[in-house]
Amino acid sequence: MSYQILLEMKNITKRFPGVVALDSVNLVVSRGEVLTVVGENGAGKSTLIKIMSGAYQQDEGSIFFNGKDVGKMTPRKSIDLGIATIYQELSNVKGMSVAENIFLGVQHKKNGFIDYKKLYAESMDIQQKVGLEYLRPETLLFELSTAEQQLIEIGRAYSRNLNIIIMDEPTSALNNIETEKLFTLIRKMKTEGKAIIFISHKLDEVFSIGDRVQVLRNGESVYTSLIKSAKRDEIINSICGRELKEMYPVSKRDIGDIVFEIKNLNTDYLQNININVREKEIVGLYGLMGSGCSDIVECAFGTGVYETGDFYVNGSKVEIHAPKDARSAGIAYTPADRQEKALLITHSVKNNLTLVTLRQFIKGLFINLRKERETASEWVSRYNIKIKTLNEPVITVSGGNQQKIVLARWLASNPKIFLLNDPTKGIDVGAKVEIYKSIEDLCNLGCGVIYVAAELPELLGIADRVYVIHEGAMAGEYAGDEITQKNIVTSAIGEKNYGNNN
Amino acid sequence: MVTTTKQNSSIGSKIINFFKSVFGSYGSVLIAIIALSIVWSFASPYFLTIANIKNIGVYMSAAGIIAAGITVSMLLGGLDLSQMAIMALSGIVVGVAFKAGVTGPILLVIAIGVGLLSGVINGAIMNYLHLSPIITTLGTSLIFRSIAYIVSQGNMTVVKDDFLVWIGRGKILGIPVTLCFMVVVYIIVGIVLKYTQFGRNVISVGGNAEASYLSGINVKKTRAIAFMVSGSCAGLSTLLFISQGYVAMPNAGSGADLDAIASVIIGGLSVGGGRGSIIGTFLGMLFFSLLANGMSLLSMNSYAQLAVKGSLLIIAVYIDILRRSKK
């Protein structure tokens, strides 16, 4: 295949007050090529994308499009050159239809009125290109899954003149099947001669979809290679900038007695779920998206509605109908959506740390602010949380440290059970390792952990036992050497009969 | 000896730090207050007289107490629109009680009690019917107002009681009693918000209700108490209004709540909840009162005054947004 270079960025430097976000970075992408860009959070990936899309302008360096120097990019220029960006935060209007979202800002008018017939017909053309031909163009967007909404955005890019499509961690909210569908679309785009820039945290994806990989670290480009000749270890080492001996530094523990049991849990979706966790044990819960794993932990924390179900802590039955019941029973919970459901995002690190256990600092009627502050700063150093001050709003803290704050806030309540719902979502590789270490620390304190994982390799790496859920029912239970990708996946897609497995 | 100086300096530096942080958060309001005071003192020879300053204090008090209630409900993320109707209702009930021979501090208890009860009703509707605070209080404000009109049959009631005269005209150490009421309310609300679990819960729920719930905070209880506080403030405020003119009116409070909301916003409270403080509210209130006072001293057309207030509100919020986006 002969590559025709489409976009070339040379010696791009971008400074923000106090930091060099990009330090003479070079990037080249050709027609029909998928360039994967990886790096930790803060490595400069977002800044680089924003310079391509014209949201930021570089301080130094030049951008060539089809060999011509285009100077500094502006959003308008970028669209005109056919560069489209699909951000993690989708930019669509939920109350508008599929067609209107695809043609957002473009109006099909006839005699001053909108020509819906034409709009819907053209929408259908685009929908076919992105594999959404089964949707009616007038369907409102909030009826669509996240994956479908993402395809609508790609459709919008298609509706314009499209040369380069930049995708910022497009699979972070997709399940395996949806991811595969997206990859099929990307492969089709390659054959159409589009250039694709694919940002990801997941190395498996880099190897399955990429033609080339480029690693950014601290604003510098530290590694580029064709996928054919790239080595996984080299990529990981370039991302971290250090030898990463083990991705999953979780060692064997002496597992104790059963500390928590869920018996006969039935909801309008879940069927007769039975789960137990032992002291110091990490129990994984795995299923495809929509399998009901999250529902199980939500019920156990008192936020889900269940028809029948009993919960036992240390052998005695507990009533759980609201989070405060769960908290008094010694159950801690970290929701999957950290920013939406766990953090007071504009509030200080300190207030976020003491949200659960504020009552410990109350003497009489009043909060002992000094004790609160001292304890909070003790937690910060004990859990190695990297922040500037306790007063900084938590929104300015990195994802990994935000997650540590959420974990740390529960520890002071002396929980016996930790329910973790996808705690490493959107966290870079280095920080993930630290989260795994924190989870091991939880176990060593005597907690039992239920870990709902979105990514299977995590469970292979850290779980002592794994339950697999398929469409609301128990589909498998594996321990020790049985925890293999093959076992778990066959159960997760419903290919194995759980009864026979026992 | 050494320790004493050390302590002194630490207290001194604490005070300096306090003012620094106040100035950091409310710099633009403070500058506006100072600028306005300078302009008014040149424009009118009466502005800086003791009598006028007391006037401003009295003017501030009734609306200021409503603003304290709004601070609590708005921090929680739910604006209480029913306050002026609660004022009317509680004023009319005070009038009825007075006619029936009730006098003295019991009138104060009745006024606050009616406010508290109205707050309980607001909270119950929000929590059990799962309605948003704005819709709930919009609905109850019509109901409360309606009851006030029906009970009073649209007439005002004269309430001339010695206790109310003391509130309206009396002084404690030379400071108008009305103003003392406001100061006490602000100190209590300030302490509650900063130093109690309830106060922290209000701010947490305003910041992220879902995260607060998942952290084991009783969101419903917090919301109910916040609206009880807000209602009680409206009730107390009524009594201060009555003590100025000795009449209870079913249309009481009209407009006062909008002044109060505007002051709270100028004081930096986020309309979405979770951000702001009682100090900001106080400064916003002070700014608004100075503005109104000066315009009246200069005999500005009272209808035109509304437009000035409205414009300043828009400008103030705009400046605030600019300041934040720079950060």
pLDDT beyond 90 at A420: yes
CB contact under 8 A, B203 and A342: no
What is the reported pLDDT for A497? 63
> Does A502 score more than 50 pLDDT?
no
Average pLDDT over residues A118-143: 91
**pLDDT band at residue A242 under the 50/70/90 scheme:** low
Task: Report the percent of chain B where pLDDT is more than 90.
Answer: 37
d(CA A237, CA A381): 27
What would the pLDDT profile of A432-468 be if each residue is shown by its tens digit? 888 898 898 889 888 999 999 887 878 888 899 999 9
Compare all CA atoms of chain A with the CA of B203 and give the residue at the minimum distance: A347
Q: Give the pLDDT confidence of A319-357 residue by residue, as tens digits.
A: 999 999 999 999 999 998 888 888 998 899 999 999 988
pLDDT at A41: 65
Contact: B211, A344; criterion CB under 8 Å:
yes
For chain B, the average pLDDT equals: 86
Q: Which residues of chain A does B195 touch, with a Cβ-Cβ cutoff of 8 Å?
A: 365-367, 369
User: B9: pLDDT confidence band, cut at 50, 70 and 90?
Assistant: low
* Residue type for position A316: S
Q: Which of A86-100, A115-129, A441-455 has the lowest mean pLDDT?
A: A86-100
**Where residue B256 falls among pLDDT bands split at 50, 70, 90?**
low
Q: According to the model, what pLDDT value does residue A51 have?
A: 93
Distance between CA A435 and CA A453 in Å, rounded? 13
Q: Which residue of A has its CA nearest to B206?
A: A344
Interchain proximity B211–A369, CB inside 8 Å: no
pTM: 0.73
The end-to-end CA distance of chain A, in Å, is 51
What's the burial of A17, exposed, middle or buried (CB within 10 Å: 0-12/13-18/19+)? exposed
Mean pLDDT of B120-146: 93
For residues B193 and B200, give the distance between their C-alpha atoms in angstroms, rounded to a whole number.
Answer: 6
Q: How far is B80 from chain A (nearest CA, A)?
A: 23
**What pLDDT does A121 receive?**
92
pLDDT tens digits for B35-45?
889 999 888 88
- pLDDT bin (cut points 50, 70, 90) of residue A308 is very high
- Distance in Å, alpha carbon of A441 to nearest chain B alpha carbon: 21
Q: Is the pLDDT of residue B322 over 80?
A: no
Count CB neighbours of B227 within 10 A. Answer: 32
Q: Cβ of A366 and B191 within 8 Å? A: yes
A117-126, A226-235, A250-259, range with greatest mean pLDDT: A117-126
Residue B237, pLDDT score: 92
Mean pLDDT to the nearest integer, A387-395: 87
Residue B18's SS3 state is helix
In terms of pLDDT, which residue wins out, B215 or A501?
B215
Per-residue pLDDT, B326 = 57
Please give the residue of chain B at the shortest CA–CA distance from A347: B207
- Residues of chain A with C-beta less than 8 angstroms from the C-beta of B191: 366
pLDDT of B3 reads 40
Q: Is the pLDDT of residue B216 over 90?
A: no
Residues of B with CB under 8 A from a CB of A: 191, 194-197, 200, 203-204, 207-208, 210-218, 274-275
Chain A residue numbers touching B212 (CB-CB < 8 A): 344, 355
Cβ count near A80 (within 10 Å): 13
B203: which chain A residues are within 8 Å (Cβ-Cβ)? 347, 351
Give the pLDDT score at B5.
Answer: 41
**Which residue in A323, A343, A369 is closest to B216 by CB distance?**
A323
- Cα torsion A74, A79, A80, A82 to 10°: value is 130
For this complex, say whether ipTM is above 0.85: no
Tell me, letter by letter, the H, E, C secondary structure of A357-384: CHHHHEECCEECHHHHHHHHHHHHHHCC
Closest by CA to A423, choosing from A431, A413, A415, A411, is: A431
Taking the alpha carbons of A300, A303, A309, A311 in that order, is the dihedral positive or negative? positive
Percent of chain A with pLDDT over 90: 43
Task: Give the residue on B whose Cα is nearest the Cα of A339.
Answer: B211
* For range A132-158, the mean pLDDT: 90
> Which chain B residues are Cβ-neighbours of A326 within 8 angstroms?
216
Instruction: Mention every residue, 6+ apart, whose C-beta is less than 8 A from residue B229.
Output: B69, B72, B73, B119, B189
